[in-house]
Chains A and B, each alone.
Chain A
Amino acid sequence: GQQLNQSPQSMFIQEGEDVSMNCTSSSIFNTWLWYKQEPGEGPVLLIALYKAGELTSNGRLTAQFGITRKDSFLNISASIPSDVGIYFCAGPDYSGNTGKLIFGQGTTLQVKP
């Protein structure tokens, strides 16, 4: 079945550093989504990607839809303490026409001030 693998599993960085994380799959996706989840809260949508090769920014965040359609990347520039959280990639489950999503296992980001 469809699965999403995220790496790295966790990152501990210094404030001001740039961050890069990725998400890969053995299946093709036509949509990639990146969510951020803070402790005790639900995931919040950061960026949605709809076309292979697409590069989309949201402030200091930039995400790319891989040209093979089997991967996506999220970069955070000049990290700040409030970037702390778990970042999930997600893609549509094509087993039905319901709009349900499959999520990766997440990349946990810790930022040291």
Chain B
Amino acid sequence: DTGVSQDPRHKITKRGQNVTFRCDPISEHNRLYWYRQTLGQGPEFLTYFQNEAQLEKSRLLSDRFSAERPKGSFSTLEIQRTEQGDSAMYLCASSAGQNYGYTFGSGTRLTVV
């Protein structure tokens, strides 16, 4: 297992377009997290899955954002009608149970122009 994979690594999109990111966690990890990181800041929690159930969403996650984890394996994060303020690094992480030392992917850098 090569760790947490995220695709794409970089995405440039025009304002108003929809984008979708994919995360493949470590196979035996049942918990999956999405974080967002802007320049000069630490990662901020967006949402969390335990297996296929989405158990918590941050207030940062407006109704333009949706995340899924079908069958408890990979996850997707979709942003509809992107805005310039959505430009950030989107990080995915996974863990086995409530293990705080989870493993992050390399992230998807989104630029909205």
Contacts and interface: CB of A to CB of B under 8 A. Distances in A.
B101 A93 contact: no
A35 B31 CA distance: 19
A62 interface: no
Interface of A is mostly: loop
Given A90-B42, A98-B48, A42 B95 contact: no
A99 B101 contact: no
Contacts of A96: 56
B40 interface: yes
Nearest to B99: A99
Contacts of A90: 42, 100
A29 to B, nearest CB: 10
Nearest to A4: B42
Contact of A104 (B31, B42, B99, B104): B42
A48 B106 contact: no
Interface of A: 4, 31, 33, 35, 40-45, 48, 88, 90, 92-93, 96-106
